[in-house]
Chains A and B, each alone.
Chain A
Amino acid sequence: LAKTTQPISMDSYEGQEVNITCSHNNIATNDYITWYQQFPSQGPRFIIQGYKTKVTNEVASLFIPADRKSSTLSLPRVSLSDTAVYYCLVDGGGYNKLIFGAGTRLAVHP
């Protein structure tokens, strides 16, 4: 399974757009890129998944360049409630074993 690298922590302020970049240089052809969010004292929650280009849902957008060696999770206009740990995962589509890295701890300030 491909390894991912993402910043340990980030800080932002309410109303700003936050972009968290994840690198996955060894991503395989059939790998999908998945992001999870974890609030304190809760289990992780699926946010978004993509294979290439751009994916958008009601929560976030995911940008994946053509070489797929990195991806960027974009959170528009964050609020205090977006303070959480964000995990970038790469899995071989259809293979259910997800490997969580250290994640990025996002702190949103007033």
Chain B
Amino acid sequence: DAGVIQSPRHEVTEMGQEVTLRCKPISGHDYLFWYRQTMMRGLELLIYFNNNVPIDDSGMPEDRFSAKMPNASFSTLKIQPSEPRDSAVYFCASSFRAISYEQYFGPGTRLTVT
């Protein structure tokens, strides 16, 4: 398996623009997680899905952020409109329910909002 795949790897956009980050989890994993990492706040869990259903979105910072998982092999994290304070590295991770502690992280998307 290729592991968790994220795209794009880097994104530079202007304030006010819509940003869509994409993730393909490892096949067979039924949990998917979105994290954000900054120097100031460290690694934060934004939202996670189980069998394509959002379970906990308490970490989503505000209504500008939304996440979807239309099927078992694809998820998106959308920011609309984007702001400079959204600049961070966004990670997607997946895990198999029987091994809940072992999450597999993707390479991340480095987002810069100017």
A95's contact among B35, B100, B105, by CB below 8 Å, is which?
B100
Main secondary structure, interface of A, reads loop
A43-B45 contact, Cβ under 8 Å, with A34-B101, A94-B100, A98-B101:
no
Binding site for B on A (CB under 8 A): 32, 34, 41-46, 49, 87, 89, 91, 93-103
Which residues of B are found within 8 Å of A99, using beta-carbon distances? 45
Cβ contact within 8 Å between A44 and B43? yes
Cβ contact within 8 Å between A43 and B100? no
Bound CA–CA A102/B37 (angstroms): 11
Which residues of B are found within 8 Å of A93, using beta-carbon distances? 100-101
Cβ contact within 8 Å between B107 and A43? yes
Interface size counted on chain B using CB atoms at 8 A: 24
Bound CA–CA A80/B43 (angstroms): 24
Bound CA–CA A68/B108 (angstroms): 33
Which residues of A are found within 8 Å of B31, using beta-carbon distances? 96
A98-B42 contact, Cβ under 8 Å, with A42-B108, A43-B93, A43-B108:
no
Q: Does B103 contact A (CB under 8 A)?
A: yes
Bound CA–CA A49/B103 (angstroms): 12
A97-B101 contact, Cβ under 8 Å, with A43-B91, A43-B106:
no
Bound CA–CA A93/B91 (angstroms): 22
Bound CA–CA A59/B104 (angstroms): 17
Cβ contact within 8 Å between B100 and A96? yes
Query: Which partner residue on chain A sits nearest B44 by CB separation?
Result: A100
A97's contact among B56, B97, B108, by CB below 8 Å, is which?
B56
Cβ contact within 8 Å between A45 and B105? yes
A98's contact among B103, B106, B107, by CB below 8 Å, is which?
B103
A42-B101 contact, Cβ under 8 Å, with A97-B45, A97-B56, A98-B45:
no
CB distance from A46 to the nearest CB of B (A): 5
B43's contact among A32, A41, A94, A100, by CB below 8 Å, is which?
A100
